Structure 1
């Protein structure tokens, strides 16, 4: 099983001062060429504040992120799931997991970011700023990932080695959709009027983090869509098998 999360815009600053980024050590190594190109472009455009603000869609409040982008190759690193912060990652609360649960988390949780693509929870990364809708010297991030995945997607997804549970937001799913037959996008929704459903909204991120934490702490090893539905029944999640279509299935969250 591989659970894929979106990155967060907010990140913990700092890390292990004795370690810096090693692109060749990152998981899913077939992405190394696009990673190297995006790092070079991100560092280059960050040399001047105004062009960088435009590229990253930031105001002056984001200048600290831009300055840190200049030092991506020399900044201290930390594991990806410790680097990302915010509501989703606070709800997952990896730091409070037991050693056994942390090992399980490192083996089964990944993040798909604009800069690194698919990485595992334990991969060591520096602080940076780049979003799925950023625009770099060689074009939009979306276009560059689409082109890159055209040649390496088979290798990337084969390394996932199991059922893929995609919890990414729409923008990040668009960078590299999970191929049909190897996994599913789990949409967190809430009941609407007259039986309709709508996006979960405000509670979406916290619900995702809690769901992933429950997957880890319950020892789940999902190998199929049927396993996901069965686990949901056991844990009190309404994963609606009748909603499945086009690689998506609904998880209905009530009371939000």
Structure 2
């Protein structure tokens, strides 16, 4: 099983180890594209800070992030498992997973990133600020920048197993599962049911997905397709409804229905 996660805007304030080593990161097929994005971001943020903030879409309160980006090559790095601190990751709780679940997390989780493409949880990178929707000088829109290298790296990472795609909409254009991989892919929509009516949730969507991933890792099951995943989640006491794709070569959608947020 391969589980695709979005990053989070919330990140650790600083690293505490050696600087970035691009050659040490997983998914080596992304190496060249990572260097291109990194060089463009460092170059942008080493120049006019106002222009850099505009390109990155930073509010005045985040203007200091440009200086952080300018120093990415020499800044202390830390594992991706410790870098991301948003709602999904708070509820996933990578730091206190049982040992066996932690081993499964290393093997199954991929965190998408505008700057790095995708990371395993033990990949060491410095804190940064660069979303997938940014257009970097000389590189262009990052979601388009990643499509070709992702098309090479991701099917190999997925192998012949299930893909659970929990990315937010900003990150899905960087890689679209196709063919037999799409047939083994499930997306998740979280619905809040109250007084017989259902609404799509936002903040609690992330919290539910974090808990869901944690429960799957702790359970240790190995669902092989979306139908088996739905069954596994029901065994874990989730209310799940499946929606088969309208045509072949498209992912399944699983609706997870919650009554309490």
TM-score > 0.5 by shorter chain: yes
**2-structure distance, mates of 1:202, 1:193:** 20
Aligned to 2:168: 169
Q: Which residue of 2 aligns with 1:253?
A: 257
The match for 1:52 is: 52
Q: Please list the CA deviations of residues 109-161 of structure 1 after superposition, one character each: whole Å capped at 9, or x if unmatched.
A: 11011111122111111111110111210222123223x34xx5134321233
Distance 1:107 1:209, change over 3 A: same
Alpha-carbon spacing, 1:31–1:192, altered in 2? closer, same or farther (3 Å): farther
Separation of aligned partners in 1, 2:216 and 2:251:
20
> Please, what TM-score do these two structures have when normalized by structure 2?
0.89
1:187 aligns with 2:189: yes
TM-score, structure 1 normalization: 0.90
Q: State the match for 2:157 in structure 1.
A: 159
Give deviations 1:41-78, integer Å, cap 9, x for gaps.
11011122111111110122112221110111111111
- Kept in 2: contact 1:79–1:124 (CA 8 A): yes
Give 1:194 deviation, angstroms: 7.6
- For residues 110 and 155 of structure 1, the distance between their equivalents in structure 2, rounded to whole angstroms, comes to 12
Is the contact made by 1:77 and 1:124 (CA closer than 8 Å) also made in structure 2? yes
Q: CA deviation at 1:220?
A: 2.3
Distance 1:82 1:228, change over 3 A: same
Secondary structure at the aligned position of 2:13 is classed as coil
Q: 1:250 to 1:192 in 2, by over 3 A?
A: farther
User: C-alpha separation between the residues in 2 aligned to 1:170 and 1:176?
Assistant: 11
Measure how far apart 1:25 and its partner are. 1.5
Q: Aligned residue for 1:224? A: 225
For the residues of structure 1 that align with 2:110 and 2:143, how far apart are their CA atoms?
Answer: 19
Over the residues paired in the alignment, what is the CA RMSD in angstroms? 1.9
1:78-105 Cα shifts (integer Å, max 9, x gaps): 1112100111111111111122221221
SS of corresponding position for 2:258 = coil
Q: Distance in 1 between matches of 2:79 and 2:145?
A: 25
Aligned-partner Cα distance in 1 for 2:153–2:14: 32
Q: Distance in 2 between matches of 1:178 and 1:192?
A: 33
Q: CA deviation at 1:193?
A: 8.8
Write the distance in 2 (CA, Å) between the matches of 1:14 and 1:87.
Answer: 19
Q: Is the 8 A contact 1:30 1:156 kept in 2?
A: no
Kept in 2: contact 1:239–1:249 (CA 8 A)? no
* 1:201-216 equivalences in 2 (<5 Å): 201-216=202-217
Structure 1 alignment gaps of length 5 or more: none
Q: CA deviation at 1:202?
A: 2.9
Is this contact kept in 1: 2:132–2:171, CA < 8 A? yes
